[in-house]
Chain A
Amino acid sequence: MGQTINGVLRRHGLILAFLVFLGGVALNADAFLTPGNILDVLRQVSITGMMALGVTFVVLTGRLDLSVGSLLTLLTVIVVDQHNIAGPFPAIVMTLLVGVAVGAFNGLLVGFVGLNALIVTLAMLSFLQGLVLFYSGGSNVNVANAQETWFGVFGRGDFLGLPVPVILFLVGAVIAGLVLQFTTFGRRVYGVGGNETASIFSGIDARWTVFWTYVVSGFTTGVAAVIMGSRVMGAQNTIGQGYELTVLAGVILGGTSLLGGSGSIWRTVIGISMLGFIQNGLLLLGFPYYVQWLVTWAVIIIAVWIDLGAKRGRIFA
């Protein structure tokens, strides 16, 4: 989409601040820039990143998906539990299908019924958390035959020296990026997000477009759950808690506008990776792990503020 001077400046301002932060951490924590740590961060990022790919579609239409945190929990519980019951392959298929179904339901309520996206997905967040406890009966699940199954490949495997989850994320990002930039669906997403009325006047069915973005979001969360289950070889009832905001923070940190119509997948890849390194850096500096909540808060506020400021042409203008 059109790169404005403003856009370039705000990107560079953020990236500059990020590089300064990286340098600071590297000087104070020797482990930070070791290949082992970097791969660790990327493994973590591959899960939030995979979810963020789908959420980017939703945000580009000017809507939100806050249900993905609980959805990740539910789907991880499902994939692990069904792995024990039905085996890895059926478990994965079922997980993806449930993800798509939940996305479709969100899409129905937001796209067709026209309910507010924030409320619909926030309510879904709560509903799914309840469903998790209902499904699991409150206990954690673990993969029974962890040593024998090939299921571990998605979260723990390596291929050509790269972790498999990172490869999955990058492949997903490339596909999502191509879809947004080069297909008619991508064009509709940008159209609806940029100006819904003008898109309707152009014969685009905004309802279906919105619907499909939620389906994509449900699907990518399903893939993320497979990686998560495979990595942990189990699932706690709170495993995805807070992920909805981390994912959103990554998307908007990359510069995709909450107002819709501008942003891209590569921005999301950058944003979510930056967030991963920030959180890891803080841990290595000795901050307790829960500062990541504060970081998410700060990132969201700053990113939204910059987004709004750039729209008004005040900050960095």
Chain B
Amino acid sequence: MDDVILKVEGITKTFPGVKALDNVSFDIRPGEVHALVGENGAGKSTLMKALAGLHKPDSGQIVYQGAPTEVTGPLDARQKGILLIHQELSLSPELSVAENIYLGAWPTNRFGVLKKRELRRNASKALEALGCGFGPDVRVGTLSVAMQQMVEIARAEAFSANVVIFDEPTASLTDTEKDQLFHTIRGLKARGVGIVYISHKMDEIFDITDRITVLRDGQVQGTVDTADTDLNQVTRMMIGRTLDTFFVKAKAEFGEEVLRVEELSKSGLFQDVSFSVREGEVLGLYGLVGAGRSEVVETVFGVRRADGGKIFWKGGDIALPTPRQSIDMGMALVPESRKEQGLVLMMGGRENTSLPHLSLFSELSVMNRPKELATFEKYRSALSIKTTGPDQAVSQLSGGNQQKFVLAKWLCADPKLIILDEPTRGIDVGSKSAIHELIADLAERGLAVIVISSEMPEVLGVSHRVLAMSEGAVVAEFEGDDMTEENLIDAVSHHRGEAAA
């Protein structure tokens, strides 16, 4: 028992219509990084939310530091030393870093007045211990995603956490930021903190973890030592089969030009961006987070307004389209952030899927429900989406299954051009390769495809041509044999170096 800091014994958790966790047992040792893997909706986040007091399990117990413990809420968990770093970050953008670190547990004097100086001092200490490059007074809303994550991790220092849980922490980090995070995790580990690491990125799992527990449909498939296993075994445990690791690229047979962008500019965001994409072609947009890729495609789609430049659709000038016009022409944009831009969370999958195409799903303004249901069912099975029914609010779905509905809503109207902004973020390995196949399939059916991705193997694997973007400008274009990781890294870092000099 000595070498186990936290133990989960036979936890079951049922939501209406789903058994999210089924008699799950699992333990965490001090100083280890324990991976939790499984398909979208396998129950990973639910299990961790149970540990952090966000869900009350139906049965089973948590043994923490040798004693059965009930965690009553997130704050209680934090004060006991169990810290969950969410899949979707959960900070208050309007508050300062220090206030966020101690959110809900601010030191106050007898009269309930905030002890500002103490708050600042403790927060500074935690930030320094992590080597953060920012101070306690910065407003959190102004920080990058990676920095915000550091603020959450600083809570581990501030509350001297014994267990820290990372739920898909690298989903929106750049490679450098990821390295920094791993450095931090190794630091925590050396201090004897027990760490749970949830991710769909297998290379990370094999890089940083000591043991791997696989969940499938709410049940533990087994726990293995990372050193004694390999990708194939883990994949087989996760999805019951192994996967080809190579990418399927669409045949390079291109038709007419669909979209051409000339010298598109928006001050402060991007300058003089030009590119074009043809029928049947997959164009990759690579760049670090913050390079301006999303802003460019949002402008093309019409949710942002450009200051200058031209957009041509099938050869015709379509200056400043609205999203409605873009959609009606046959453009689709799978946006970067599924919760803010992608979905109406309280609607079900059926209503979310038809939302961009109401006129296609209605006659004389009356919604055609059977047609909506048919489309819903088609994509539910095509993308193997786990949901209890067409009207289950998508807020109740796992992160990856939400992402699949964002894809469904844009695929269902047969677009001519589909722009995918980080399409596989948070998606499990099985579905990920399914989406890569889907991209190839779409291109072979004659669609023009633009893929934005921060994952180099992905962008190189699926694209016929790749543009490298850095700081709002297209800095290089690669085709054929020039499409290599070295060239891409070189292009974006060289430009950065130049800009700094």
What is the interface of chain A, defined by CB distance below 8 A to chain B?
1-2, 4-5, 182-188, 190-191, 194-195, 197-205, 261-262
Contact of A187 among B327, B341, B358, B409 (CB under 8 A): B358
* Interface pair B342/A184, CB less than 8 Å apart: no
Q: How far is the CB of B302 from chain A (nearest CB, A)?
A: 9
Find the residue from A184, A199, A261 having the highest chain B CB count within 10 A: A184
Give the complex CA separation of A302 and B375 in angstroms: 41
* 13 residue pairs A–B, Cβ–Cβ below 8 Å: A2-B393, A2-B396, A5-B16, A182-B369, A183-B367, A184-B358, A186-B367, A191-B347, A194-B345, A199-B344, A202-B323, A203-B324, A262-B346
Residue of A with least CB distance to B410:
A202
Contact of A195 among B345, B354, B391 (CB under 8 A): B345
Contacts of A198 in B (CB 8 A): 340-344, 355
Contacts of B348 in A (CB 8 A): 2
Q: How far is the CB of A231 from chain B (nearest CB, A)?
A: 34
Residue of B with least CB distance to A195:
B344
Residue of A with least CB distance to B326:
A203
Residue of B with least CB distance to A262:
B346
* Interface pair B16/A202, CB less than 8 Å apart: no
Give the complex CA separation of A261 and B396 in angstroms: 16
Q: How far is the CB of A200 from chain B (nearest CB, A)?
A: 6
* Interface pair A187/B355, CB less than 8 Å apart: yes
* Interface pair B344/A185, CB less than 8 Å apart: no
B443: interface (CB < 8 Å)? no
Q: How far is the CB of A182 from chain B (nearest CB, A)?
A: 5
B392: interface (CB < 8 Å)? yes
B362: interface (CB < 8 Å)? yes
Given A187-B358, A191-B355, A203:B347 Cβ within 8 A: no
B365: interface (CB < 8 Å)? yes
B41: interface (CB < 8 Å)? no
Contacts of A261 in B (CB 8 A): 344, 346
Contacts of B242 in A (CB 8 A): none
B359: interface (CB < 8 Å)? yes
B335: interface (CB < 8 Å)? yes
Find the residue from A191, A200, A201 having the highest chain B CB count within 10 A: A201
Given A187-B355, A191-B344, A205:B393 Cβ within 8 A: no
Contacts of B391 in A (CB 8 A): 2
Find the residue from A4, A197, A203 having the highest chain B CB count within 10 A: A203
Contacts of A184 in B (CB 8 A): 358-359, 362, 365-367
Give the complex CA separation of A26 and B393 in angstroms: 41
Contacts of B356 in A (CB 8 A): 202-204
Question: Given contacts A185-B365, A187-B358, A201-B323, could you give 11 more A-B pairs where the C-beta distance is less than 8 Å?
Answer: A1-B393, A182-B366, A184-B365, A194-B345, A198-B342, A198-B355, A203-B328, A203-B356, A205-B324, A261-B346, A262-B346
Contacts of A195 in B (CB 8 A): 340, 343-345
Contacts of A202 in B (CB 8 A): 323, 327, 355-356, 409
Give the complex CA separation of A199 and B303 in angstroms: 11
* Interface pair B335/A182, CB less than 8 Å apart: no
Give the complex CA separation of A205 and B328 in angstroms: 13
Q: How far is the CB of A10 from chain B (nearest CB, A)?
A: 15
Give the complex CA separation of A205 and B341 in angstroms: 14
Contacts of B322 in A (CB 8 A): 203, 205
Contacts of A194 in B (CB 8 A): 344-347
| Closest 5 pairs (CB-CB, A-B) | A2-B393, A194-B344, A202-B356, A184-B358, A203-B324
Given A187-B355, A188-B358, A191-B347, A201:B365 Cβ within 8 A: no
Give the complex CA separation of A4 and B335 in angstroms: 28
Q: How far is the CB of A102 from chain B (nearest CB, A)?
A: 25
Give the complex CA separation of A185 and B367 in angstroms: 10
Q: How far is the CB of A35 from chain B (nearest CB, A)?
A: 38
Q: How far is the CB of B49 from chain A (nearest CB, A)?
A: 12
Find the residue from B16, B335, B365, B369 having the highest chain A CB count within 10 A: B365
Residue of A with least CB distance to B392:
A2
Residue of B with least CB distance to A314:
B73
Q: How far is the CB of B378 from chain A (nearest CB, A)?
A: 19
B333: interface (CB < 8 Å)? yes
Give the complex CA separation of A1 and B352 in angstroms: 12
Residue of A with least CB distance to B369:
A182
Contacts of A201 in B (CB 8 A): 303, 323, 333, 335, 341-342
Q: How far is the CB of B429 from chain A (nearest CB, A)?
A: 27
Contacts of B344 in A (CB 8 A): 190-191, 194-195, 198-199, 261
Residue of B with least CB distance to A179:
B365
Contacts of A200 in B (CB 8 A): 303, 323
Q: How far is the CB of A191 from chain B (nearest CB, A)?
A: 5
Give the complex CA separation of A262 and B351 in angstroms: 13
* Interface pair B340/A197, CB less than 8 Å apart: yes
Contacts of A203 in B (CB 8 A): 322-324, 326-328, 356
Give the complex CA separation of A4 and B391 in angstroms: 11
Contact of A183 among B328, B333, B351, B366 (CB under 8 A): B366
Give the complex CA separation of A187 and B16 in angstroms: 25
* Interface pair B355/A204, CB less than 8 Å apart: yes
Q: How far is the CB of B311 from chain A (nearest CB, A)?
A: 16
* Interface pair B367/A197, CB less than 8 Å apart: no
Give the complex CA separation of A197 and B347 in angstroms: 14
Which residues 29-78 of B have a CB within 8 angstroms of A?
none
Give the complex CA separation of A190 and B324 in angstroms: 18
* Interface pair A199/B367, CB less than 8 Å apart: no
Give the complex CA separation of A200 and B358 in angstroms: 13
Contacts of B333 in A (CB 8 A): 201
Contacts of A204 in B (CB 8 A): 324, 355-356, 358
Which residues 378-413 of B have a CB within 8 angstroms of A?
391-393, 396, 409
Give the complex CA separation of A201 and B303 in angstroms: 7
Q: How far is the CB of B120 from chain A (nearest CB, A)?
A: 29
Given A184-B367, A185-B365, A199:B346 Cβ within 8 A: no
Give the complex CA separation of A262 and B348 in angstroms: 12
Give the complex CA separation of A190 and B343 in angstroms: 12
